[in-house]
Structure 1
């Protein structure tokens, strides 16, 4: 059996991971139509989930990371590029929503960290008949609740 860490930095990271996981689980269980939620790196690696199977979380993270990259690299009306604010994919079997959720230093050492900072994306999977507006609103509220874990919250950009 592994002994619990007495390293305060490691313990704090575990606490933050658990707090975020609890928020994601609560979100998936309490927002109408939502089935799953995950926080991923901008580089498409899963960080924390609402209890999603690891293989599925990795597949979704890869897809949502690619979606965030696509959103960032599409030239706007003036030819400029901009980061992901929100992306929505609507299919017959599900709705997929992604929003920028800020930059965090609490995942130091994780792949994709640049200068100790990691760009994050909140991804949500919903039933096909979920109310997109209500889910988007609740996602914004969840991202606001993540702000204490971020060195640059999404809404500050």
Structure 2
């Protein structure tokens, strides 16, 4: 008889390592939404449009929202530069009368192994903020959250360098 690998199956504590990581990330996401001024919700989605976790979004709304987030992020990354090159968006900002949506890459992970079959997936963080939210504060806090997520990601988001900016 083979012994189950703790990484993939339950441990003596009951939850697998990946399940604990997902729970810790979800706690960080909820704390971010609760403590960042004028943020209504935060959602982490896979680049292919699956909702991975959120800060308490209505479940009937979560799936279409995840699909829209994924589509907007992909669209932004496919806008060609004047030289014709395409590169992933650093930040996507959408302002509407009822609020703002801010999208940012959040790393790559297989932490939701059950729903993603253990495959490595790129993720996108979406923040839904009120119309009076301070964009600078919100994006700063988003970056801090993505940095915290790095400990749980198989491939954390790489920080932009001066070479990336030029």
TM bin, normalised by shorter chain, reads: 0.7 to 0.9
**RMSD of aligned residue pairs (Cα, Å):** 2.1
Gaps of 5+ in 1: 1-5
- 1:51 is paired with a residue whose SS is coil
Offset from partner CA, 1:133-152 (integer Å, 9 cap, x none): 11000000000000011122
Partner Cα distance (2:15, 2:122) in 1? 20
Query: Looking at CA atoms only, which structure, 1 or 2, has the larger radius of gyration?
Result: 2
Partner Cα distance (2:129, 2:46) in 1? 20
Gaps of 5+ in 2: 1-8, 161-166
Offset from partner CA, 1:112-132 (integer Å, 9 cap, x none): x7x821100000000111001
Give aligned pairs, total. Answer: 151
The structure 2 residue matched to 1:18, chosen from 23, 27, 38, is: 23
Offset from partner CA, 1:34-63 (integer Å, 9 cap, x none): 010011000111001101111211121111
Runs of 4+ residues deviating >4 angstroms? none
Which moves more between the two structures, 15-24 or 89-98? 15-24
Q: How does 1:78-89 map to 2 (within 5 A)?
A: 78-89=83-94
The structure 2 residue matched to 1:99, chosen from 95, 104, 110, is: 104
TM-score by length of 2: 0.83
The structure 2 residue matched to 1:146, chosen from 144, 149, 164, is: 149
What is the match of residue 58 of structure 2?
Answer: 53
Partner Cα distance (1:33, 1:42) in 2? 26
